[in-house]
């Protein structure tokens, strides 16, 4: 895959709230993944010469803090 195809593939892989995937990637694709998602954890789970399987986990976006509930008085 060329750079643009790889970017599209990665974007589609982590679409709609998906933060964890196992992907088969080449060394160049892993390099691009790390550039696009610098805080992602990438762990190689198999050894192959051309492409290997990687466990990829993106950091979830921080949640907006909830407002505190005001306790109601019991009557």
Q: At residue 72, does pLDDT exceed 70? A: no
Tens digit of each residue's pLDDT (9 = 90 or more) over 13-44: 988 888 899 999 999 999 999 999 999 999 99
Alpha-carbon span 49 to 52, nearest angstrom: 7
Structure confidence at residue 1 (pLDDT):
82
Q: What is the CA radius of gyration of the chain?
A: 19
Tens digit of each residue's pLDDT (9 = 90 or more) over 38-52: 999 999 999 887 899
The residues spanned by each domain of the chain are 3-57
Q: Tell whether the torsion through CA atoms of 21, 13, 30 and 25 is positive or negative.
A: positive
Helices marked H in 1-75 = 3-13, 27-36
Structure confidence at residue 26 (pLDDT):
94
Range from 4-8, 24-28, 53-57, 70-74 carrying the lowest mean pLDDT: 70-74
Alpha-carbon span 61 to 19, nearest angstrom: 10
Other residues' Cβ atoms within 10 Å of the Cβ of residue 20: 12
């Amino acid at each position: 895959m060329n750079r643009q195809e790889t970017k599209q593939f990665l974007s589609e892989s982590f679409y709609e709230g998906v933060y964890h995937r196992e992907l088969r990637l080449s060394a160049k694709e892993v390099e691009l993944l790390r550039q696009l998602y610098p805080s992602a954890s990438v762990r190689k789970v198999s050894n192959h010469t051309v492409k290997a399987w990687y466990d990829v986990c993106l950091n979830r976006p921080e949640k907006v803090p909830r407002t505190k509930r005001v306790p109601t008085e019991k009557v």
